[in-house]
Amino acid sequence: MAMKIALTGIKPTGILHIGNYFGAIKPALALAERYDARYFIADYHALNMMKERDALRSSILEIAAGWLAAGLDPEKVVFYRQSSVPETFELATILSAFAAKGLLNRAHAYKSVVQANIEKGADADAGINMGLFTYPVLMAADIVLFDADVVPVGRDQTQHVEMAQDIAQAFNFNYKKELLKIPQAAVEEDVAVVPGLDGRKMSKSYGNTIPLFAPEKELRKLIMRIVTNSQPVEEPKDPDSSQVFALYRLFASPQEREAFAARLRAGGMGWGEAKEELFQVVNRTLTPIRGRFCAFISEPERLTRILDEGAEKARALAKVTLTRLREAIGITLC
């Protein structure tokens, strides 16, 4: 039986941090072992909010290099840039004719900007471009273009996947045929919550992240900044209420984890020393990833070649879908 298809879009905004690594990259790479995976850089989605040329360009390169450095195998995963698959944008136009405006009005991402405008007494539409408003239509096109069965996303994106379902269903209903596959969101339930430097969930919006590719010196400095309680060295410490341990366990082997927890419980290890131990395991994991990342970043031609090869594979698939749909809607005349 043919493998099912997993597809996800990666928005090139900002730099990757270890929360992204454990929350999105690792689970997506694990999924690629069991599914026929198509992962792409959603660069035109990013344009809605990022209009500075150099920032957009370097974000695209860094995200692509980041995923490859973290282990994405472009031989196994079709890895491409959204902008390299123009069929996406034709399909978005087609789907626009089936996407109710009322549906898009209900998108959380759009609604929250309207709400913020109203709260500060501004015009409801201030600063809102049509790209933001039609974001879910473009995303639906990304998904159904490749007959995706599952879409691994964070919880904040499940509404968008539901909208893709609604739009695809409206399309199928109109032509009385299952022309588009109805995708399902896959939200990882047991993905580790990665604590940030201040103990809250690691997130760009909290400014509490540890970048995935921080140079060694910066990495040590950041780890030393992790908040702890003020227990003295000799006092026994509870691993389960400690940020330092929560991070350590993500990077260490089960044996190391047990040994570290036992040392904390026994007392005699201060937080400074514990953080040094943490730095060692984090740095051990990140050093090879950082090395590959730097290599990719210094060779943008190689990166572009990998992405272009992926785009070629993606376009071959996309063209098949588009031919089928054009024929079905009556745009193909003979």
In the complex, which residue's CB is closest to ligand TRP? Answer: 9
How far, in Å, are 83, 130, 192 from residue 46 at the CA level? 11, 13, 26
Q: Give min distance, CB of 92 to ligand TRP, in A.
A: 11
Rounded to an integer, what distance in angstroms lies between the CA atom of residue 138 and that of residue 199?
36
Complex with ligand TRP: residue 112 or 298, whichever CB lies closer: 112
Give the distance from CA 124 to its chain's centroid: 29
40: helix, coil or strand?
strand
* 154, amino acid identity: G
Q: Which of 4, 11, 26, 204 is catalytic?
A: 204
Q: Partners of 40 in the beta sheet?
A: 9, 80
Q: Does 62 bind ligand TRP (CB under 6 A)?
A: no
Complex with ligand TRP: residue 42 or 104, whichever CB lies closer: 42
Q: Does 165 bind ligand TRP (CB under 6 A)?
A: no
Q: Which of 120, 177, 181, 217 is catalytic?
A: 120
Per the structure block, which two tokens stand in for 232? 């003295």
* Residue 176 appears among annotated catalytic residues: no
Task: Provide φ and ψ at 77, rounded to 5°.
Answer: -105, 135
Complex with ligand TRP: residue 44 or 267, whichever CB lies closer: 44
Per the structure block, which two tokens stand in for 178? 């299952």
Q: Give min distance, CB of 288 to ligand TRP, in A.
A: 26
Q: Give min distance, CB of 198 to ligand TRP, in A.
A: 24
Q: Partners of 185 in the beta sheet?
A: 151
Q: Which of 27, 42, 34, 22 is nearest to 152 (CA)?
A: 27
* Residue 51 appears among annotated catalytic residues: no
- What mask, x for binding ligand TRP by CB under 6 A, covers residues 75 to 114? ----------------------------------------
Q: How many residues bind ligand TRP (CB under 6 A)?
A: 13
- Pick from 32, 137, 153, 194 the residue near ligand TRP by CB under 6 A: 153
Residues listed for the chain: 334
Show contacts with ligand TRP in window 121-150 (CB under 6 A).
Answer: 139, 142-143
Rounded to an integer, what distance in angstroms lies between the CA atom of residue 330 and that of residue 309?
32
- Pick from 48, 59, 88, 157 the residue near ligand TRP by CB under 6 A: 157
Q: What is the largest CA-CA distance in the chain?
A: 83
Q: How would you class 254 by CB atoms within 10 Å of its CB: exposed for 0-12, middle for 13-18, buried for 19 or more?
A: exposed
Q: Give min distance, CB of 280 to ligand TRP, in A.
A: 33
* Residue 275 appears among annotated catalytic residues: no
168, 149 contact by CB (below 8 A): no
| b/e burial code for range 65-103 (CB count within 10 A of at least 16 → b) | bbbbbbebebeebbbbbbbbbebbebbbebbbebbeeeb
- Pick from 69, 151, 278, 322 the residue near ligand TRP by CB under 6 A: 151
Q: Which of 11, 181, 201, 313 is catalytic?
A: 201
Show contacts with ligand TRP in window 261-280 (CB under 6 A).
Answer: none
Q: Does 38 bind ligand TRP (CB under 6 A)?
A: no
- Pick from 5, 8, 31, 195 the residue near ligand TRP by CB under 6 A: 8
- Pick from 42, 72, 99, 306 the residue near ligand TRP by CB under 6 A: 42
Which residues participate in catalysis according to the annotation?
120, 201, 204
Instruction: Summarize as ranges the residues that interact with ligand TRP (CB under 6 A).
Output: 7-9, 11, 42, 45, 139, 142-143, 151, 153, 157, 160
